[in-house]
Amino acid sequence: MDEQVLTLTGTVVDYTNASITGISFDKHYLVAEVNLTAVTRLVMVNLDTGEQRILGDPLFPVAEPSIGYGHVAWQHQQFLNSLNPVEGNLDWDVSYHVIVENRSYPLHVEDEVNQTSPQVMQDHIAWLQEGEKEDDAPEVRIFSLEDTFEPYSSKTMQAATILLIPMLTIWMIQRQKENGGRVIQTEEE
């Protein structure tokens, strides 16, 4: 992996002179942004057991970690090749990690717009997205970690929709029988 970083950046990964450039922590975990000269990596430490994990892709730069409520969010420059940068890979993107699943996910589709400053909140992750034009103000984007509909209400809604169709049919048949099959005339006619 360190050879790949050397190929992408032209700089050797320097573990002896590594420095922590940012931290975020909650009750059980600490997330540290570790600068290794060639690349910055994100290391999560379980404060109860001492177990350590690298989050995100260790080949590419990361920044601004935020942790809380069982999730970690950070910004990264996925696929950035420092020696031969491509315009589409210069922007920052935001990803998040679900601690109990030990899985990471992107928060948005790949684009050429900077997404920065992620913040983990209860049931949500918020971040700033720069405007597409230089004059545009940044927007706050919010990703919901929970389903919008509760599973029970979704099932209730499905059952109500299925029952509504036969009920409307029965109601229309009853109305026609009450009217003797005639169309009701309005007073204006």
- pTM tops 0.75, yes or no: no
Distance between CA atoms of residues 57 and 76, nearest Å? 9
Query: What is the pLDDT at residue 148?
Result: 64
Q: β-strands 52-55, 62-68: how paired?
A: unpaired
Residues 6+ apart with CB under 8 A from 164: none
Residue 189 has pLDDT above 60, yes or no: no
Provide mean pLDDT across the span 96-124: 91
Mean pLDDT of the chain, nearest integer: 84
Query: What is the pLDDT at residue 149?
Result: 59
Provide mean pLDDT across the span 133-140: 86
Q: Which of 93-97, 125-129, 131-135, 176-180 has the lowest mean pLDDT?
A: 131-135
Q: β-strands 71-76, 62-68: how paired?
A: antiparallel
CA-based nearest residue to 142, from 119, 162, 165: 119
